[in-house]
């Protein structure tokens, strides 16, 4: 019994020791063959990448881009490979892009939700995939090789590291200004949105002017501040484009088509309505907007007769109204708020 006991009790240990020995032996055998294994793995990996790119190109109707050393970027019917495949109920609207020696900087205006960010990203993806040797999602594409792609794109808040959205935005922009060259591609998405409108527009303006005049990199700048369109200047290569939207009976319709020109309105209130903001709040916002646009500083007493409408406001709604800034909010946060509001409406 005693003998048997010690065999059983030490079994685990011996098992572990055996396992370790076998593992070590295997490792040594493999290490001995390392050069051969690596030699075999490299072409297998390359083949894997190339066949994945080929399959993607075949299945998604990509074309072979033409690469050049010119400072150009000429895309016909470009698409965003991920958005077109996974996110859409409606068909994806393809868009052209032209950047060349005399038009280096596109200022893309358009309301929130129009498709500006998608357009920026799809073109950066086309350049990137072209330069890694892949086919690209477009009908035609001439890509002048870029040395780097710089992006300043929102959403990646860095609150965890104690840096405000605006600080992150500005330090990333500063980094771009320090490092971009004439051969770079720069994407600036809503630079300046993280602060007040006037600050934001002024910063965006100065940054754009500097990039166009002194850097000369091919640049796409998306903004819903249509005031910035006044920056367009043929002399330094800044041109206006807009993602078109129309309004019908107070409802905004997004056409998703990028054309030359300027967006005249921001349709913020219409988008808020689409998102399900209660009608009385939307109506109140329209009145305040009319005052702003008429050069009147809105003041509570202008709307006294409307106050009754708001008598039913709950503390949650009150807090919501105080906190929400549609210009700073991400689509995900907007959705969360929508659910909260719905919960509120049902709770009452
Ligand atoms: N070319 C397009 N065709 C169809 N739908 C699009 C297109 N571009 C964008 N969208 C849709 O519109 C939504 C908002 O686009 P986004 O680029 O984020 O707008 P913006 O940056 O102007 O606020 C996207 O999530 C996508 O579903
Ligand atoms: Mg955007």
Q: What is the pLDDT of residues 105-164, one digit of tens each?
A: 999 998 888 899 999 999 999 999 999 999 999 999 999 999 999 999 865 545 555 567
C-beta 87 within 6 A of ligand 1:
yes
Ligand 2 centroid – CA 38 distance (Å): 44
Domains annotated on the chain, with CATH: 2-53 (no CATH), 63-266 (3.40.50.300), 271-347 (no CATH)
Q: What is the pLDDT of residues 289-340, one digit of tens each?
A: 888 778 777 777 666 555 444 555 566 666 677 767 777 777 787 888 888 7
C-beta 114 within 6 A of ligand 1:
yes
> Residue 60 and residue 71: Cα distance in Å, rounded?
28
Long-range pairs of 161-164 with CB within 8 A, sequence gap ≥ 24: 164/194
The reported pTM is 0.75
Which atom of ligand 1 is closest in space to residue 79's alpha carbon? 1
Which atom of ligand 1 is closest in space to residue 118's alpha carbon? 17
Count of CA atoms in the C-beta half-sphere (13 A) of 118: 24
Q: What is the pLDDT of residues 241-251, one digit of tens each?
A: 999 888 887 77
Percent of all residues in the chain with a pLDDT value above 70, rounded to a whole number: 90
Average the pLDDT over each of 10-24, 131-145, 219-233 and give the range with the smallest value. 219-233
pLDDT band at 254 (very low <50, low <70, confident <90, very high): confident
Ligand 2 centroid – CA 106 distance (Å): 15
Ligand 1 atom 5, closest CA: 92
Is 70 exceeded by the pLDDT of residue 348? Answer: no
> Residue 173 and residue 187: Cα distance in Å, rounded?
10
C-beta 153 within 6 A of ligand 1:
no
């Amino acid at each position: 019994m005693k003998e048997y006991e010690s065999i059983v009790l030490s079994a685990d240990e011996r098992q572990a020791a055996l396992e370790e020995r076998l593992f070590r032996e295997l490792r040594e055998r493999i290490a001995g063959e390392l050069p051969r294994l690596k030699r075999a793995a490299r072409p297998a990996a390359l083949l894997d990448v190339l066949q994945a790119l080929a399959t993607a190109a075949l299945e998604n109707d990509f074309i072979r881009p033409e690469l050049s050393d010119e400072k150009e970027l000429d895309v016909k019917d470009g698409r965003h490979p991920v958005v077109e495949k996974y996110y859409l109920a409606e068909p994806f609207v393809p868009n052209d892009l032209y950047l060349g020696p005399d038009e280096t900087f596109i200022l893309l205006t358009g309301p929130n939700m129009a498709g500006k960010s998608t357009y920026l990203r799809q073109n950066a993806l086309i350049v990137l995939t072209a330069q890694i040797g892949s086919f690209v999602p477009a009908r035609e594409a001439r890509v002048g090789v870029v040395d780097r792609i710089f992006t300043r794109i929102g959403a990646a808040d860095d609150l965890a590291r104690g840096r405000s959205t605006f600080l992150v935005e500005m330090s990333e922009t500063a980094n771009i200004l320090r490092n971009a060259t004439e051969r770079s591609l720069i994407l600036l998405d809503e630079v300046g949105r993280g602060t007040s409108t006037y600050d934001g527009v002024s910063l965006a303006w100065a940054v754009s002017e500097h990039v166009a005049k002194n850097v000369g990199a091919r640049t796409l700048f998306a903004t819903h501040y249509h005031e910035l369109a006044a920056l367009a200047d043929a002399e330094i290569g800044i041109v206006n484009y807009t993602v078109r939207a129309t309004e019908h009976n107070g409802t905004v319709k997004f056409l998703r088509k990028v054309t030359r020109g300027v967006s005249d309105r921001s349709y913020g209130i219409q988008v808020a309505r689409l998102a399900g903001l209660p009608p009385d709040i939307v109506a109140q916002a329209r009145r305040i907007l009319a005052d702003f646009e008429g050069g009147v500083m809105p003041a509570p007493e202008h709307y006294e007769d409307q106050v009754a409408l708001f008598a039913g406001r709950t503390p949650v709604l009150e807090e919501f109204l105080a906190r929400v800034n549609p210009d700073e909010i991400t689509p995900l946060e907007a959705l969360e708020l929508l659910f909260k509001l719905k919960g509120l409406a049902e709770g009452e």
